[in-house]
């Protein structure tokens, strides 16, 4: 049981770091970067659940992952042409 949890935690961590690199490297389109940042948040909320913090997990899933991504997309949709570096 505990070994399984640790493996899950490791897997989540590796995925989070990969998504974070995807989100911050300036190679791919801004939409992908925003979605990758949302993925980091979503995986973080699963990580919180493994760390026995269900309250924080709910907050992160609803606010950090859901609302923030949509706030970004509202602004991204308005600044046409600004997504070029």
Which residues would be at the binding site for other proteins (CB under 8 A)?
5-6, 9-10, 12-13, 16-17, 20-21, 23-26, 30, 33-34, 37, 40-41, 44, 47-48, 50-60, 62-64, 66-68, 70-72, 74-83, 85
Question: Minimum distance from CB of 83 to other proteins (Å)?
Answer: 7
**All residues at 6 or more sequence positions from 45 whose CB lies less than 8 Å from its CB, including other chains:** 56, 57, 58, 60, 61, 64, 65
Least distance to other proteins from the beta carbon of 69, Å?
9
* Contact (Cβ atoms closer than 8 angstroms) between residue 19 and residue 43: yes
Across the chain, where does the E strand assignment appear? none
């Amino acid at each position: 049981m505990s070994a399984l949890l640790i493996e899950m935690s490791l897997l989540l961590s590796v995925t989070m770091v990969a998504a974070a690199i995807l989100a911050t490297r300036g190679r791919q389109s801004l939409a992908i970067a925003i979605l990758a940042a949302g993925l980091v948040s979503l995986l973080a909320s699963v990580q919180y659940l493994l760390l026995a913090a269900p309250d924080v997990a709910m907050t992160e899933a609803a606010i950090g992952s859901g609302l923030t991504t949509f706030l970004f997309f509202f602004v991204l949709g308005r600044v046409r042409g600004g997504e070029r570096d």
